[in-house]
Amino acid sequence: MDIALFLDFDGTLAEIAPRPDAVQVEPGLVADLERLRDRLGGALAIVTGRPVSVIDGFLAPARLDAAGLHGVERRVGGALSGGGAEDHPALRRQVERLHAESRPLADVLIEDKGASVAVHWRLANAEDAARAEALVKDAAEALGSAYRLQLGKAVGEIVPAQATKAHAIRAFLEQPPYAGRRPVFFGDDRTDEIAFASVNEDGGIAVRVGDGDTVASRRLPDPAAVRALVRMWAEGGRIDPEALPPA
């Protein structure tokens, strides 16, 4: 099967950590990804809410094709486009507001990504978590229709309205080496459901990692299972996403 493989990072290739900078990459994963990319003729990309530069840090020395910030940034064949913070002055004002208003909240983290911002409350107590969620909702509302709010696992992220993983995957599919291949996307969060739906519409295969309601047709239990599959495919095993367990 000629597939174009798209992989989320947090919660899909690597376990989610209490803080975004504390994520650990399993030894051997980078080499497996590079071998699998070569086996797929280059048609492998990371599609993530992280900036591409951060993904490069986790997956060094590899520089894989990637869509960062939910598609605001995109790199194919080494050429990176999009993602400049200077293009988002209204968002920058809300980032400053979020920093100021979250200071009294213990264990609430503001992750400034330049062209987007995420508020994390995984480590916060219930009261502070509720306040953090309210803060990010207020900031998104203040920005209006040019931005949208994505709520995930103990996180709320404000991104440009036109930026989705669905758009990013479809953009990859318009050019070599992805064009003409069947898209396969692995993701783990509510924010990935839009991309699952578009992959389904395009005749591809969506794979949900972990539990939860989903429009994906296939499911794997956790990132360890994804890594084992990547390793098996990289080592020459049959690439058949349709054989994965149903969702």
Q: Structural domain boundaries of the chain?
A: 3-83+163-243, 85-160
Verify whether residue 8 is a known catalytic residue.
Answer: yes
On the question of pLDDT at 1 being above 70, the answer is no
Closest to 58 (Cα-Cα) out of 32, 97, 29: 29
- Tens of pLDDT, residues 193-239: 999 999 999 999 999 999 999 999 999 999 999 999 999 999 999 99
171, 4 Cβ separation under 8 angstroms: no
| Residues ≥6 apart with Cβ < 8 Å to 162 | none
| 122-146 tens-digit pLDDT | 999 999 999 999 999 999 999 999 9
In CATH, what number does 3-83+163-243 get? 3.40.50.1000
For residue 111, list its beta bridge partners.
118
Q: Provide the β-strand partners of residue 207.
A: 186, 218
CB-CB contact of 171 with 71 (8 Å): yes
How many CB atoms lie under 10 A from the CB of residue 238? 8
Q: Supply the Cα-derived Rg of the chain in whole angstroms.
A: 18
Does residue 176 sit in helix, strand or coil?
Answer: coil
Residue 70 pLDDT > 90: no
Cβ(91)–Cβ(161) under 8 Å? Answer: no
Q: Report the CATH fold assignment for 85-160.
A: Alpha-Beta Plaits (3.30.70)
Q: What is the pLDDT of residue 40?
A: 98
Token pair in block for residue 82:
């999009």
Q: Which two tokens stand for residue 154?
A: 């103990």
Q: What pLDDT is attached to residue 85?
A: 63
- Residues 2, 8, 38, 65: which is the catalytic one? 8
> What's the pLDDT score for residue 34?
98
For the segment 93-112, the average pLDDT, to the nearest whole number, is 94
Q: List the one residue out of 94, 54, 89, 98 whose CA is nearest residue 75.
A: 54
User: How many CA atoms are closer than 13 Å to the CA of 42, on its beta-carbon side?
Assistant: 12
- The position carrying tokens 């980078």 is 30
pLDDT score, position 128: 95
The closest of 177, 193, 154 to 70, measured between CA atoms, is 193
The pLDDT of residue 247 is 95
Q: How confident is the model at residue 83 (pLDDT cuts 50, 70, 90)?
A: low
What's the rounded mean pLDDT across residues 66-77?
91
CA neighbours closer than 13 Å in the CB half-sphere of residue 156 = 20
**Mean of per-residue pLDDT scores for the chain:** 93
